[in-house]
Chains A and B, each alone.
Chain A
Amino acid sequence: MRYLPLTEADRREMLGVIGAKSVDELFRDVPASAVLGGKIAGLPDHQGELEVERAFQAYAAKNLSPGSDPFFIGAGAYRHHVPATVDYMIQRGEFLTSYTPYQPEITQGTLQYLFEFQTQITLLTGMEVANASMYDGSTGTSEAVLMANRVTRRHKALISGGLHPQYRRIIETTAKWEGFKAVVTAVDAGGLEDLIAQVDKETSCVVVQNPSFFGHVRDFTKLAEACHAAGALLIVVVTEVVSLGLLKPPGEMGADIVVCEGQSIGNGLGFGGPYVGLFATRDKYMRQMPGRLVGETVDADGKRGFVLTLSTREQHIRREKATSNICTNAGLCALAFTVHLTLLGEAGFRRLAEINHAKASELADRVSAIPGVKLLNDSFFNEFTVRLPKPAAPVVEALAAKRILGGLPVSRLLPDDPSVENLLLLAATETATEEGMGPLVAALKEVL
């Protein structure tokens, strides 16, 4: 077996040093009832690299990977171009095969990029402090609600109808089992929801998304003021982080916690994971944050260095009193994010956002010009919602049969809500081309 260096001679010699006759002796604490005669039955034996690769090629061949085919799906995961440098860098063994930097003297590489990452997140979101990443945007959002409950000592979260339906579902699940109230408002496809009247003295936080799941761009300054007047926190979720290159950051609207899905920068679609959650807040709430934090310090020679810090919040120190049970974060995905954003820089990041907005504007104009199709958005970044004259799900299936991945039928995520049956969510990033938009529009005309 190519991964196992011990030879039979090694094993015999090692058993001799141990003073055991066979390896079975080392397993003598296993109860007799659980001892198996040989291998576990019903599973194949080892294979060479060639055979393994072929098996995965066979899986891959059964999927429709967009390649250069028309592609317009978003809804919390976006197809962007990732520079080759990013993937090269995260495959360096020194990053790929290192672990949590428990020994800072020999993990300054990881610690420094995480410090850079934390700084980048504060700049993007307009916030004061950020952690070293969460699993993803969806789990980070529910951690933000838990944090708001801790900060306010209240137990009622108000959840916008513009938040990604799966994110909403995760908060509801957390609420049910961890014991707080999640008030989930009606689905807001039109982007007109006003939650101010519902914020009261029991509200721990209000959770909104910008741009919303349906693509609307909103100003939450007044909502932030209403939250603060009532002693609640405003949590702003951003599932398309590229939008922050063009849009007023949540920090400037008065957000108290900002959670982003960071996948768009540096990380591919990957069928939904692993992604990277970005989590930022105000300095005053620093010690209530979940997740790992990297801080600057000095070493014994007085040189600048970085360490994991404020770990008295964390489970390995505080155990049942920890701010969260989280241990691992998304280190390598955070590296991909940081390398990509460093390549982009100020000029590249802002231009990337402009291109996304321009492409989506073009697509919105062309799709909404199709007879019977109505654009629901006055505002959007790179994603918008249209109402079709018939149910969207079969339309999307018909497009897929033509190798066109033509958006998300909203009913896929909200199957019980008849009001969204005809809604189609379309996204266009810098990867959208005339060769993609033309066939999409033509096919839509044909199918509708």
Chain B
Amino acid sequence: MVQSLDRSQGRDGGSAGGVAASPANTHGTFTGNRALQIEEPLIFEMGQPGRCGVDLPEPAKVKDRLNGLRRSGEVGLPGLSEPQVVQHYTRLSQKNYAIDMGVYPLGSCTMKHNPRINEKVARLPGIGDLHPLQPVSTVQGALELIDCLAHWLKTLTGMPAVAMSPAAGAHGEMCGMMAIAAALEAKGERAQRRIVLAPESAHGTNPATAAALGFTVKPIPANDRGRVDLAALKAALGPDVAAIMLTNPNTCGLFESEIVEISKAVHAVGAYFYCDGANFNAIVGRVRPGDLGVDCMHINLHKTFSTPHGGGGPGAGPVVLSAALAPYAPYPWIVKQGDKWTIAEDGGALKSLGIEGTPLGRLKAFHGQMGMFTRALAYIMSHGADGLKQVAEDAVLSANYVMAALGDTMSPAFEGPCMHEALFDDSFLKGTGVSTLDFAKAMIDEGYHPMTMYFPLVVHGAMLIEPTESVAKEDLDQFIGALRSLTARAKTGTAAEAFKAAPLYSPRRRLDETLAARKPILRWRPSNNFKEAAD
């Protein structure tokens, strides 16, 4: 193992990506650290043979029963003691922005408060320390818990069934679209209905999912109000259409006001309505998607129901299903018989339980993201029906407040009211030399995580701000003040260079993404040190 004495990793290097060097890169400390910002090597540069962070007993001597396949040579893992491991990952953690630190207005991601009671109950031994294949008689409480969450999800959405096993939103999309394919197959129409309609503003997962299932994706344009163009949709509908995949509230942060007409038109031609539930937070407890004619919808438990985003997962994406699609829900089915819970894992089990159903198959080992179910249910029980309704109202109120408070100086993409996120385009930056990216990077120096940038694609230089219901008004006001100040600075017309140099105060300044993609270094090797990368 190589020990890095120079912790800075900050050897002399030219500026990358055409970004101007600034005084901040000569920070003038001997270590390269800057007070609480401590430079940290990789574990592979820290390890020493003879160090170990665990104490394990000497194994009993036994005759190998490994079929002669004992590993020869080292794995190559570094050896670190426990305090080194704690310090290493603590220092890394301090290079992250997080919800716990402040406003995280990443549109479409619903970065709301993550209550710690949810973490606590998920770790109760009677919940967290259960094997998924223990005898069913020993996990009755776990099955009851899953069913309780299922009941909430069905009631909040006004839908009769829910498939709990999908591991994330995109996995839920796959589940829902497979259910639609299964329903079409049962009607003998799968070969004929090959088209899936999706608005141009859809999340990328929608077309990716439909295409994976062999459907041809046909984009539907938006009207000048940021909603689906109903006339264009009706023109596209026909006997070859399998489904529409529509996000509501949509990715522009707007409620699809003609959604009932849309669902009627879709059903009139025998197609199904898949709703992307990524933005359910705007309407939870206030509007039931079932009342809008939805056939299936995934629910990102890590968005609306606050299971932690964890640096990018794990998520969970249960899918609520209409009566027409319910028979196709994938295994497992959790069923109550008398006062006992059971898990049906195959057709034989369903039959012996006397349940009708033709499940589409299985999407995941075991029974779904139990740890996420527990956290989501704790969140739901804490809020109750009254609190969840208030969540939607406060989320929508906060977004409209941001829109109103910035509307005169930034450029709202569409007329309001918006739902839980406020969408701006970059026309207010026209002629300033400042781009959406520059504006976002300048927010970092002001202590904020930027909003979602350049999404949805239908709005030029999009900035999608989702404050969520978790931000106090005085914090919202400070955030708004920071954005107004940045906007004013940009509009002086002389600040482009300063914006392009941002961020100055973050653990790293702008990173050269082109270099990363052109010469991919995806793992540490003794040889691929910094210098090689820079060359």
Contact = CB atoms under 8 A, between A and B. Distances in A.
Given A64-B134, A328-B302, A109 B95 contact: yes
Interface in B415-464: 417, 419, 440-441, 444, 449-450, 452, 455
A44 interface: yes
Interface string B104-120: 10100101011101011
A303 to B, nearest CB: 5
B389 interface: yes
B330 interface: yes
Contacts of B114: 96-97
Interface string B515-535: 111001111100010100110
Contacts of A44: 381, 384-385
Contact of A39 (B140, B385, B510): B385
Contacts of B440: 103
Interface string B259-288: 110000000000000000000000101111
A315 B208 contact: yes
A115 interface: yes
Nearest to A73: B131
Interface stretch (B121-129, B236-244, B490-498): B121-129
Interface residues of A, number: 212
11 contacts: A56-B145, A60-B124, A85-B85, A105-B508, A106-B95, A169-B361, A302-B16, A304-B530, A307-B516, A327-B168, A357-B64
Given A45-B387, A315-B205, A93 B101 contact: yes
Contact of B208 (A104, A164, A325): A325
Interface stretch (B6-14, B319-327, B481-489): B6-14
Interface string A248-259: 110000000000
A416 interface: yes
Contacts of A378: 65, 67
B260 A300 contact: no
Interface string A234-267: 0000000000111111000000000000000000
A307 B210 CA distance: 29
Nearest to A344: B54
Nearest to B77: A346
Contacts, number: 737
B127 A60 contact: yes
A42 B288 CA distance: 13
Contact of A320 (B127, B217, B449): B217
Contacts of B132: 77, 269, 271-273
A335 interface: yes
Given A113-B89, A119-B44, A325-B205, A60 B125 contact: yes
Contacts of B77: 120, 123, 341-342, 344-346, 349
A339 interface: yes
B342 interface: no
Interface string A43-64: 1111101011101111111111
Given A34-B260, A303-B13, A329-B312, A381 B66 contact: yes
Given A4-B469, A346-B77, 4 more contacts: A94-B98, A99-B309, A297-B512, A362-B62
Contact of B370 (A55, A110, A273, A293): A273
Interface in B53-93: 53-54, 56-57, 59-72, 74-80, 82, 85-86, 88-90, 92-93
A103 B52 contact: no
Contacts of A274: 167, 313-314, 316, 369-372
A144 interface: no
Interface stretch (A22-30, A199-207, A438-446): A22-30
Interface in A52-89: 52-53, 55-67, 71, 73, 75-77, 79, 83, 85, 87-89
Count chain B CB atoms within 10 A of each CB in A71, A88, A320 and give the residue with the most. Answer: A320
A23 B522 contact: no
Contact of A301 (B308, B364, B383, B509): B509
B193 interface: no
B387 A4 contact: yes
B53 A343 contact: yes
Contacts of B209: 325
A269 B509 contact: no
B507 to A, nearest CB: 5
B96 A103 contact: no
Given A170-B363, A405-B131, A348 B53 contact: yes
Contacts of A302: 10-16, 25, 534
A95 interface: yes
B365 A300 contact: no
A40 B386 CA distance: 8
Which of B68, B113, B135, B452 has the most C-beta atoms of chain A within 10 angstroms of its own C-beta? B135
B45 to A, nearest CB: 10
Contacts of A23: 393, 396-397
A342 B85 CA distance: 7
A20 to B, nearest CB: 7
A183 interface: no
Given A273-B370, A304-B9, A354 B381 contact: no
B211 interface: yes
A31 B260 contact: yes
A300 B403 CA distance: 33
A6 B313 contact: no
Interface string B355-371: 00000111111111111
A176 interface: yes
B155 A43 contact: yes
Interface string A284-326: 0010000011111111111111110110101111111110111
A91 B69 CA distance: 38
B229 interface: no
B254 interface: yes
Shortest Cβ-Cβ A-B pairs, 8 listed: A302-B13, A60-B126, A173-B361, A272-B366, A62-B141, A332-B310, A272-B132, A93-B100
A380 B443 CA distance: 56
Contacts of B44: 116, 119
Contacts of A298: 13, 16, 511-512, 515, 530, 533-534
